[in-house]
Structure 1
Amino acid sequence: MSATRTATKPAPAARRPKGLDVFVWQGTDKRGKVMKGEQQAKNANALRAELRKQGITPRTVKPKGKPLFGGAGKVVTPLDIAIFSRQLATMMKSGVPIVSSMEIIANGHKNPRMSTLVNNIRADIEGGLSLYEALNKHPVQFDELYRNLVRAGESAGVLETVLDTIATYKENIEAIKGKIKKAMFYPAMVVAVALIVSAILLVFVVPQFETVFKSFGADLPAFTKMIISLSDFMVAWWWAVLLVLVGIGVSFIMAKKRSVAFSRFLDRMTLKLPVIGQIMHNSAIARFSRTLAVTFKAGVPLVEALDTVAGATGNVVYEDAVRNIRDDVAVGFPVNLAMKQVNLFPHMVVQMTAIGEEAGALDTMLFKVAEFHEQEVNNAVDALSSLLEPMIMVFLGVIVGGMVIAMYLPIFKLGAVVG
């Protein structure tokens, strides 16, 4: 059994990373069975000595090679955190100690950064910290909502149940985000491709036609002249157009990140867009309902839960509304009445919240509200995709087809004259 542990257990790099390298080894145990694995050590000789102590005769010990691309590993994504939560909950429910669970998760993860993160948390827990205190050292990967839920779970002695709930919550939230990104990404990519194709036609194709037209010596149609003028401009100033477009894109991203006022403006305008606005409304309501249901079910006090939920709605309009709800609830108003006052939540949501409060099953009702609006998001995205497909075809036809027609108009005119 000790040989098996050596094959899977890495050195505690999270606690003593300096001076340690990762080595890949292969050897045989006392029965002659071939064993292999990877482990951290100061050098190859130190690892050989350690293996011999455990009854393994080392054959080869060599430094682990680094991959050509992505040596540092991918970033830790919300989906990684969801999988980590699910795995940890499952193993703890099966009776595996939390430290051993994290060791297994770290060894089995394909993302090196996630493995390092889990090893760091494991080392802190081995050092005497609670899971909540260990997670507090990693606020980027584990947000305030996650940490508060873990603290509530530890206090109530139901950590594995809370972790399982968190995993489900994150999976649902990521599914909604994916649907919305899909709705936005498809038309944006089509527009980008259309613009690139148009630029290529204007810079490389139209000038060739212009040379042919000059040999005709005839007056060109107005539409053709306009396209040729646009082509001449693009050939002379393509670099300036590219700089302007890049500048606009960078300025937009920087303003959204750094300017609170601009970010608020975008969120408000997004909610007013046709079709897209309704998707964003349903998404914010679904996230509000599911997040509040999860926190309330975990035992977090309602006012504190609302404070945490505000930042999880994904839209500043709903964030402000939830903070107003929190203030009203803090002075004694029921949640449904506070929701009604902000005049943002549909009547059905307010009524279901009222029923949940009266029946003492607020979390159950909020889960139902979340499921309903998540389904609404799915249906709206599917409908939007169906609606956009013919519109995109028309857009491409007008942009690219218009330039093709402009180039062939003089040829048609010449053919008519010759006939």
Structure 2
Amino acid sequence: MKIFTKKPGIRREERLFFVENLSLMVKAGLPLSRAMEVLARQAGSARWKQVLSEVHADLAKGNSFEASLARHPQAFDPPFVSMVRVGELKGNLAEVLDHYYKFLFRSEAIRKKIQAAVTYPAVVVGSMFIVGIVMVVYILPRILDIFREIDVPLPLPTRLAIAMANGVVSYGWIILGVLILAIVVLVAAGRTKRGKVIWQIAVLKMPVIGPVIKELNISIIARNMGTLLEAGVNLAEAFEAAADAAGSAVYRQSLLDVRDSVNRGLFMHEAYAAFPDLYPQIMVQVITVGEEAGVTDTVLLSLAGHYEARVERFFETIATVIEPVLIFIIGLAVAFMAFAILLPIYSLAQA
């Protein structure tokens, strides 16, 4: 599942509630059509109610649950549809739904932790930027105009503040225009297939953030694959579903290549080993053990837990470290502004 994307018009909480309650009702013996009718009535948003009502209508016509869900790819992820198909064939739909709920719950918990770690510094940096612009464009020029009229040598902080204010006032619109143009060009390029791949490869090669993005992708893929195999989905279909759900175009293509290699007769660990820049050696070795012992699904879920824990620790560390760093930067900015304004006043008092 793409834990960082949102289905159009459908909240993540609604999908989580849907899977959890559908699992409970099916486990209790409620017919699937009746369960979908109940969930459609309880749906919060109009879009979600429409989707569930259409699924219920398809079931009433005699269609399979898998086929009914597959008609709404914007609402239901490929792994979910694949798992439902296997659950219907094997008669263990309640168990499959329970597996998927645990997977969805875990993914959502990680997403919220990452979001919480990133939100605070983003808000602080954004606020600092806005306050800085207001200070430089509106407040500083009025104060510094007074010092320009006084025949007193201005200290270095004041001269720097004057130069900064003049630069922003004189070239601010040009700088803003260039920034907007650069953002538009980058966004447009990032929406093309080639541009998306180039950008994602560049991110994976970045220091600090690159390894974390790599581990995050691995955790999502391992969780997807492990959950699908645990539910009884065959290996080729599991790779295809995991690839369809991958958030990274680079990892999506690698999964399709791994699937093709496995279809040609290679072991899974051998196929993964062909991508050393994307999948670390420890992952390959652990999967080797899992294949030899016949517990590939279990080791994939263990790998997912391992990398999820590493990603969580990274963002928890960032959240802990970033606060004092931001406070220090804000303190420096405030001290600079204070010196720029107060030093000339002190010089006048001495004169």
What residue is the counterpart of 2:242 in the other structure?
309
Pick from 362, 379, 400: which aligns with 2:313? Answer: 379
Contact kept in structure 2, 1:79 and 1:171, CA below 8 Å = no
Superposed displacement of residue 164, structure 1: 1.7
Greater strand proportion: 1
CA offsets 1:5-62 (integer angstroms, 9 cap, x no match): xxxxxxxxxxxxxxxxxxxxxxxxxxxxxxxxxxxxxxxxxxxxxxxxxxxxxxxxxx
CA distance in 2, matches of 1:248, 1:80: 37
Deviation at 1:236, TM superposition (A): 5.1
- Equivalences for 1:97-246 in 2 at 5 Å? 97-235=31-169, 238-246=172-180
Specify every segment of 5 or more residues in structure 2 that has no aligned partner in the other structure, as ranges.
1-7
Between the two proteins, what is the percent identity of the paired residues?
A: 31
TM-score (norm 1): 0.75
Name the SS of the counterpart of 2:73 in structure 1: coil
In 2, distance between residues paired with 1:365 and 1:178? Answer: 25
Gap change, CA 1:384 and 1:98, over 3 Å in 2? same
Match status 1:259 vs 2:188: no
CA shift, 1:241, in A, is 4.5
Helix, strand or coil at the partner of 2:245: coil
Distance 1:311 1:393, change over 3 A: farther
Deviates more, 1:328-337 or 1:217-226: 217-226
Say whether the 8 Å CA contact 1:279–1:381 is kept in structure 2.
Answer: no
Residue equivalent to 1:320: 253
**Unmatched tracts of structure 1, length 5 or more:** 1-73
1:277 has 2:210 as partner:
yes
Q: Which structure is richer in relative contact order (CA contacts within 8 A, separation 6 or more)?
A: 2
Q: Deviations over 1:305-330 (max 9, x none)?
A: 11222243433333333233222211
Shift of 1:138: 1.1
Q: Is the 8 A contact 2:141 2:165 kept in 1?
A: yes
Residues matched between the structures, number = 343
- 1:346 to 2:280 alignment: yes
Name 1:335's counterpart in structure 2: 268
- The question of whether the paired residues in 2 share the 8 Å contact of 1:307 and 1:323 is answered with yes
Distance 1:262 1:188, change over 3 A: farther
Match of 2:220 among 260, 283, 287: 287
Q: Which runs of 4+ in 1 moved over 6 A?
A: none
User: What is the TM-score of this pair, normalised by structure 2?
Assistant: 0.88
Residues 324 and 342 in structure 1, CA contact (< 8 A), matched pair in contact too: no
> What is the CA distance between 1:161 and its match in structure 2?
1.7
**One-letter amino acid matched to 2:280:** P
Q: Assess, with a 3 A threshold, how the Cα gap between structure 1 residues 404 and 319 changes in structure 2: closer, same or farther.
A: farther
Does structure 1 retain, via aligned residues, the 8 Å contact 2:78–2:244? no
Quick one: distance in 1 between partners of 2:85 and 2:228? 11
Q: Which has a greater percent of helix?
A: 2
* Residues 325 and 119 of structure 1: CA distance in aligned 2, closer, same or farther (over 3 Å): same
**Larger Cα Rg: Structure 1 or Structure 2?**
1
What does residue 25 of structure 2 align with? 91
Distance of 2:165 and 2:71 partners within structure 1: 56
Once residues 314 and 287 of structure 1 are traced to their aligned partners in structure 2, the CA distance between those partners, rounded to angstroms, is 9
Measure the CA separation in 1 of the matches of 2:98 and 2:318.
Answer: 33
Match of 2:3 in 1: none
